[in-house]
Chain A
Amino acid sequence: SQQGEEDPQALSIQEGENATMNCSYKTSINNLQWYRQNSGRGLVHLILIRSNEREKHSGRLRVTLDTSKKSSSLLITASRAADTASYFCATGLNTGGFKTIFGAGTRLFVKA
């Protein structure tokens, strides 16, 4: 797998349902960030979890990080049509420089 690989690639759910997206990565990381991107727009930061953290919450978002499995999940509870977007995980790498690598993203479609 590549660094920062999300699954599923696409997810379609009904409004009110929960959406879970997963991210796997290969190398050691400093942190992992989740972003949202509406079609053709910029990247909106959702949440950052550090490598020594296991879980973080922000509103309807819950992120977990398992460094032993090199994986993270993003849970959106009680989804809304406005949550329709692409979601990306981005891993901050332990390199000498400053490099954050994005995965290919999960396209979420929430049906009203």
Chain B
Amino acid sequence: EPEVTQTPSHQVTQMGQEVILRCVPISNHLYFYWYRQILGQKVEFLVSFYNNEISEKSEIFDDQFSVERPDGSNFTLKIRSTKLEDSAMYFCASSENRAGNTIYFGEGSWLTVV
């Protein structure tokens, strides 16, 4: 069964460093998403992406964050100048369509900022 894959599974970074989290969505999907989950808390929407542009973003997704689809398969989340509070599990997801379609999630990338 096709799946969303994410790398790395775990990354430790120094505060102030830049981090890029990578995702390979399911191949025929057109809609891509990033979510994050701080340990023990709810899953929070960050951004959705369609047709090579951001479709919607939350208040969490400020100028520190950016997304890109550099080629036909990868979808990346860049976090500039990481802060301690960026420590979380980051989930990539994709869906074939918008309304009424299942969103499939990857296993997540644990980011620890020290």
Taking chain A's interface residues, is the majority helix, strand, or loop, or is none over half, making it mixed? Answer: strand
Evaluate whether A97 and B107 lie within 8 angstroms (CB atoms) in the complex, with A31-B100, A42-B91 already known: no
B56 touches A41 (CB 8 A): no
Chain A minimum-CB-distance residue to B41: A104
Give every chain A residue within 8 A of B75 (Cβ-Cβ): none
A33 to B45 Cα, complex, angstroms: 15
A48 to B102 Cα, complex, angstroms: 7
Interchain CB contact (< 8 A) of A45 among B42, B91, B100, B105: B105
Give every chain B residue within 8 A of A104 (Cβ-Cβ): 41-42
Interface size on B, residues (CB 8 A): 27
Give every chain B residue within 8 A of A100 (Cβ-Cβ): 33, 45, 103
Interchain CB contact (< 8 A) of B42 among A31, A42, A95, A103: A103
Taking chain B's interface residues, is the majority helix, strand, or loop, or is none over half, making it mixed? Answer: strand
A102 touches B43 (CB 8 A): yes
Interface centre among A48, A98, A101 (most CB of B within 10 A): A98
Interchain CB contact (< 8 A) of B33 among A35, A44, A50, A98: A98
Interchain CB contact (< 8 A) of A33 among B35, B41, B103, B106: B103
The chain A residues found within 8 Å of chain B, CB to CB, are: 30-31, 33, 35, 40-45, 48, 50, 88, 90, 92, 95-105
The chain B residues found within 8 Å of chain A, CB to CB, are: 31, 33, 35, 41-45, 48, 50, 55-56, 89, 91, 93, 95, 98-108
Can you list the 8 inter-chain pairs with the closest CB atoms, starting with the nearest?
A97-B56, A97-B55, A42-B107, A102-B43, A98-B48, A43-B105, A30-B99, A104-B42
